[in-house]
Amino acid sequence: MSKHTAPNPHAAFDTLRAAGVIMWGDYGAWAYDTWASYNATYFDGALEPPGILWGLAPNNRKLGNYDTEFQIITLYSGLLDTEQTNLWGLDAWLARDLARDVLLHAMIHQKAGTSGCNYRSHNNEEWVNEVNRIAPLIGLRANAQVIPQMRKGQSLIWVTKEGGMRRRELSGWPMLSRPEEHYNPVTWKRFGEMIQGE
Ligand SMILES: [Zn+2]
């Protein structure tokens, strides 16, 4: 059952965005506006407006999450500059670039969840197709392929094709495919472990 079945998706978007602004001010507005711009730019406007929360993802090692039942994207609130280390406002967010990528990652889950495929997994046709499709649009090169398991003796091993993206990179895309200098060094220091663990 779809939870956001408003007849007019624009009306739903405006209402949800207004709620986001009430709850998180500029950060709420930023999340919805970035979502809307990514939906237009990378998904042909096909995604329905989700709820977007700043909070704790269900697994607290995660930077973001997409809940397919309620169509809710959660972005880890630690990405906000809650310590107010910088007083110059939104443009000076500690981890804004990272938050962008986490949102994009969640939106791929959103698209996969909407089309009824295995939205949790990063090792399936739909995910690798999306990675290969979006990568050049954000200035990355990608050679993503579904990685099969094969039996080797007693154990099962994952077999990555020569030059193909590894499983870890598939699950942490696009964060783990970004060149080292893409994120602020402070972002790496604070969130590096979480990026690696996605
Ligand atoms: Zn994921």
Q: DSSP secondary-structure letter at 137?
A: G
Distance from the alpha carbon of residue 19 to the mean position of ligand 1, in angstroms? 25
Q: Give percent of the chain with pLDDT exceeding 90.
A: 48
**Structure tokens of 24?**
């998180």
CB atoms within 10 A of CB 93: 20
Q: What is the DSSP string of 1-36?
A: --S---S-HHHHHHHHHHHHHHHHTHHHHHHHHHHH
Q: Does any domain span residue 170? A: yes
What's CA 74's distance to the chain center, in Å? Answer: 9
Provide the pLDDT for residue 193: 84
What does pTM read for this prediction? Answer: 0.87
Distance from the alpha carbon of residue 116 to the mean position of ligand 1, in angstroms? 16
Structural domain tally of the chain? 1
Distance from the alpha carbon of residue 62 to the mean position of ligand 1, in angstroms? 9
Q: Give percent of the chain with pLDDT exceeding 70.
A: 85
Q: Does any domain span residue 20? A: yes
Q: Does any domain span residue 59? A: yes
- Tens of pLDDT, residues 137-174: 999 999 999 988 888 888 888 888 888 899 899 999 99
Distance from the alpha carbon of residue 85 to the mean position of ligand 1, in angstroms? 29
Query: What average pLDDT does the segment 26-42 reach?
Result: 96
Q: Does any domain span residue 2? A: no
Provide the pLDDT for residue 91: 47
Distance from the alpha carbon of residue 106 to the mean position of ligand 1, in angstroms? 6
CATH code, domain carrying 42: 3.30.2010.10
Distance from the alpha carbon of residue 171 to the mean position of ligand 1, in angstroms? 6
Distance from the alpha carbon of residue 105 to the mean position of ligand 1, in angstroms? 6
Query: What average pLDDT does the segment 82-100 reach?
Result: 65
Q: Which domain holds residue 16?
A: 9-197
Q: Does any domain span residue 81? A: yes
**Structure tokens of 198?**
């996605």
Distance from the alpha carbon of residue 4 to the mean position of ligand 1, in angstroms? 22
Sign of CA dihedral 38, 42, 45, 49: negative
Sign of CA dihedral 83, 87, 90, 96: negative
Task: Give the model's confidence band at 82: pLDDT under 50 very low, under 70 low, under 90 confident, else very high.
Answer: low
Judge contact between 143 and 153, C-beta under 8 A.
no
Any idea which residue has 């994009």 for tokens? 104
Nearest Cα residue to 81 out of 191, 195, 163, 196: 191
Query: What average pLDDT does the segment 104-121 reach?
Result: 82
Distance from the alpha carbon of residue 16 to the mean position of ligand 1, in angstroms? 23
